Amino acid sequence: MKFAFSEISIPKRGSLAVAIYADKAFSPTAEVVDKKTKGALSRALETSRFTGKQGDFLEIAAPSGLEVSRVVLFGLGDPEKLTTTDMETLGGSLVKRLNTAGARSVTVILDELNAKEFKTNEAAASIAGGAMLGSYRFRKYKTDIDEAAEPTLARMTVSCKGSATARKAFADIEALNEGVFLTRDLVSEPANELYPESFAGRCLELSDMGVHVEILDEAKMQRLGMGALLGVGQGSRRDSRLVIMQWNGATTKKAGKKPLAFVGKGVCFDTGGISLKPGPGMEEMKWDMGGAGTVTGLMKALAGRKAKVNAVGVIGLVENMPDGNAQRPGDIVKSMSGQTIEILNTDAEGRLVLADALWYTQDRFKPEFMIDLATLTGAIIVTLGHENAGLFSNNDALSEQLFAAGKAVGEGVWRLPMSEAYAKQTKSPIADLQNIGTGGRGAGSIVAAEFLQKFVNDTPWAHLDIAGMAWSKADKPITPKGGTGYGVRLLDKFIRDNYEGK
Ligand code: BES
Ligand code: MN
Ligand code: ZN
């Protein structure tokens, strides 16, 4: 789909979308259109349920007095109260309606909104951004495409005052969305196609955009003492990898500053290992690399919009398989930190991968902070469902920044407690740590976070458990079902608001 921006004028072809506010109040352009069509809008409103609240749509076919093939009315409710996410949702919903109707192009007209949260031309860019996010499809393996059901909408023009600014804002949003799309692509790939080596290859492609990419193979990780990560991968025919991606976009003044670090769990497939998972639903474990997918998409977004920060993304890539050489329950491994770990359940593997990835990141980069993302526990889905990621942190300021960014972009996080009482559960009688808690099913997500914290010193750190967020079975306006790309927009906003231009 192509996007364009223009000053306000009634188009001569395609579909025209105009706003109606709460209680059927006409926007200035709706007023003009109603006059030109000798009251077609007023008549249509009389015979429908449309009131002008957010989410209301009404289509009017080829009204006389206009050259366009269709007028779509969209409700905006009280325009002063609109948020950026409302505009994105509008964009996504509009695309869906227009594709159902078979429209090929649309001009969306946005009169001055006087909203508190944004300028109207920024809102225009958000509508296009939402439309772009909602248009994503993962179809590379589909050869039996039904032409009659294909999306028809090929072009969206958003018209507003000061459209040059909208166009500029959209360029950044587009770069961000390309990052989200990379994450969605990676998460959607099946594990026979996306395994540690091929995932690392996808990361290497970011070199063209100026990302510095290093790939550590098993021999290198062995030398670094990464026994925890390597133990998880040892039952797989596919070799493990650690990928380090650096984006150095800070202005020279800040060039020497500590980088922002993002660490991702990249379990390309999680069978559970010898502690094998039940069969039904196991196919979902192809997206157990969601944390690594988000980190990779974020690096692409930062490079794409040339963010003025130094950021490093580190992802631990493994495949957790049962095999003659697989790790056994009861095995004891030594992590890069020197701490030994008794493996009591080979299905609690994400924390083992992160243990070495976190330690490596902290040790090598001495970052400003570390944020890790992982589809770590089923328990977080019991706690928070699919509405928020679990947030665990040793730092209140960092937590608040993440919470605010999540709220602003509609990718929520909710902080859960951590304390010594939970941490105790990770002590093993015969090694330093054990990889599952002693409390049975109680507080599984917190105990997992406590385990991770054993590999963090006093670096500000936050852990996002995204097991409930990386994949969606439901179609939503800006997130079609499948890989969601959760976290890319959240972290981009978090970086933008707190670490750029300072
Ligand atoms: N990858 C899973 C967690 C998961 C479950 C993600 C469902 C997405 C959907 C993780 O490796 C795992 O197996 N965790 C175990 C931990 C347990 C053995 C302590 C779990 O959640 O059951
Ligand atoms: Mn597992
Ligand atoms: Zn897992």
Alpha carbon nearest to ligand 1 atom 5, residue: 378
pTM listed for this prediction = 0.98
Mutating to test ligand 1, I would choose from 349, 377, 386, 464 the residue with most ligand atoms within 8 A of its C-beta, which is 377
Give distance in angstroms: CA of 467 to centre of ligand 1. 8
Q: Give the model's pLDDT for residue 131.
A: 98
Give distance in angstroms: CA of 345 to centre of ligand 1. 11
Q: Which residues of the chain register pLDDT less than 70?
A: 254-255, 502
**Contact between 108 and 155 (Cβ < 8 Å):** no
The residues lining ligand 1, judged by C-beta closer than 6 Å to any ligand atom, are 270, 288, 345, 347-350, 375, 377-379, 436, 444, 467
Q: Parallel, antiparallel, or unpaired: how do β-strands 369-374 and 461-465 relate? A: parallel
Cα–Cα distance for residue pair 391/267, rounded to 1 Å: 20
Q: Give the model's pLDDT for residue 254.
A: 67
Residue at token pair 């196919």: 283
Cα–Cα distance for residue pair 400/408, rounded to 1 Å: 12
Compute the Cα dihedral for 12, 17, 20, 21 and give only its sign: negative
User: If you write DSSP's letter for every residue of 297-351 in order, what string do you get?
Assistant: HHHHHHHHTT-SSEEEEEEEEEEE---TTS--TT-EEE-TTS-EEE-S-TT--HH
Q: Give the model's pLDDT for residue 255.
A: 66
Q: Give the model's pLDDT for residue 256.
A: 74
Give distance in angstroms: CA of 375 to centre of ligand 3. 6
Question: Which ligand lies nearest to the CA atom of residue 267 in the structure?
Answer: 3
Question: Can you tell me whether residue 74 is helix, strand or coil?
Answer: strand
Q: Give the model's pLDDT for residue 502.
A: 57
Give distance in angstroms: CA of 389 to centre of ligand 2. 18
For residue 470, the ligand 1 atom closest to its alpha carbon is 8
Q: Give the model's pLDDT for residue 501.
A: 77
Alpha carbon nearest to ligand 1 atom 14, residue: 377
For residue 275, the ligand 1 atom closest to its alpha carbon is 18
Catalytic residue list contains 277? yes
Catalytic residue list contains 237? no
User: If you write DSSP's letter for every residue of 43-63 in order, what string do you get?
Assistant: HHHHTSS--S-TT-EEEEES-
Compute the Cα dihedral for 216, 452, 195, 290 and give only its sign: negative
Mutating to test ligand 1, I would choose from 265, 342, 347 the residue with most ligand atoms within 8 A of its C-beta, which is 347
Both tokens assigned to 225? 């003492």
Q: Which residues contact 147 (CB under 8 A, 6 or more apart)?
A: none
Q: Which residue among 43, 155, 277, 476 is the active-site one?
A: 277
Q: Parallel, antiparallel, or unpaired: how do β-strands 332-334 and 241-248 relate? A: unpaired
**Contact between 267 and 225 (Cβ < 8 Å):** no
Q: Pick the closest to residue 367 from 498, 458, 449 (CA basis).
A: 458
Q: Parallel, antiparallel, or unpaired: how do β-strands 388-393 and 461-465 relate? A: antiparallel
**Contact between 108 and 158 (Cβ < 8 Å):** yes
Give distance in angstroms: CA of 343 to centre of ligand 2. 12
For residue 435, the ligand 1 atom closest to its alpha carbon is 19
Q: Give the model's pLDDT for residue 348.
A: 98
Give how far Cα 219 sits from Cα of 318, 339, 359, 462, Å: 14, 20, 18, 30
Q: Give the model's pLDDT for residue 428.
A: 98
